[in-house]
Amino acid sequence: MMQARPHLPSHRWKLPVFAIAALLQLPSTALSQGIRLEPTEWPLTSVGRVNVITGAGRRSHCTGTLVGSHHVLTAAHCLFNVTRGTWAHPTSIHFVAGYAKGEFKAHSLAASYVKSEEFEVTTPLQPAMASRDWAVIELAEKIDLKPIRVQPASEGGVASSRIVRAGYRGDRAHVLTVQQDCSVRPTSTPAALLLHTCSSVSGESGSALLRVGNGEPEIVGILVARSKHESATPSLAVPSSAFAAAVKTTLSR
């Protein structure tokens, strides 16, 4: 059953923005097969809000995905306090799984987190930094929900896959927005990234790109930025190959 949690604040986060002008054309490879994705059922119940306290009466939020009973995958920049210019303390980070209109499946404060040692927050976010924009949060309490597996996929496998993405938009922060049949194209220039046609709105940073259609859904990337040219839409994601080893190491501790 869903648990009631009143007074959960509405958080906002502005996605970092940059354009890769030469890569704005994405082929349409969306698959037509139907799949029912219900916010109250797995795998979407393992998607949740990453809420970050940034100061007295100030909050931000991104989207995260449960990858282990104590671990959540999100974007690293979500954990950076822009106002103070420092990384958020774990006790300022709260994960709420399966959140919907004040109710949720489970929640926990963070105990710690790991990120790429080479990642730095830049404005605008540079491609080299975007390709390292991931973080794995270790939760203080176990969440008894089925996690979603991280799968480092080949370029060809990702490009031909059916991709679904779900996140908590800043303008619809209390409901999960789900997008299906997105096209994805890997690129290695100017950095190793995934370009995809799922739209992106503030608050959805850190949301997972889920490959579906061949067995259980699996994570092949996470959203980190959108293009300046929204009509052209590609949004940018870190490929799972960038963080799969870190997730595996963290889960084995």
Which CATH number is 71's domain given? 2.40.10.10
- Residue pLDDT tens, the chain, 253 long: 444 443 333 333 344 434 433 333 333 222 233 445 788 999 999 999 999 999 888 999 999 999 999 999 999 999 999 889 999 999 999 999 999 999 999 999 999 999 999 999 988 888 899 999 999 999 999 999 999 999 886 655 777 678 999 999 989 999 999 998 888 889 988 899 999 888 888 889 999 999 987 678 999 999 998 755 444 557 899 999 999 999 999 999 8
- Give the pair of three-digit tokens for residue 51: 């809420």
125 with 221, same domain: the answer is no
Residue 154 included in any domain: yes
113 with 181, same domain: the answer is no
Give the per-residue pLDDT at 198. Answer: 86
Give the per-residue pLDDT at 22. Answer: 35
Cα-based distances in Å from 129 to 1, 163, 182, 225, 231: 40, 24, 24, 11, 24
State how far the Cα of 201 lies from the Cα of 15, in Å rounded to an integer: 7
115 with 47, same domain: the answer is yes
158 with 103, same domain: the answer is no
Give the per-residue pLDDT at 217. Answer: 92
88 with 126, same domain: the answer is yes
pTM of the model: 0.85
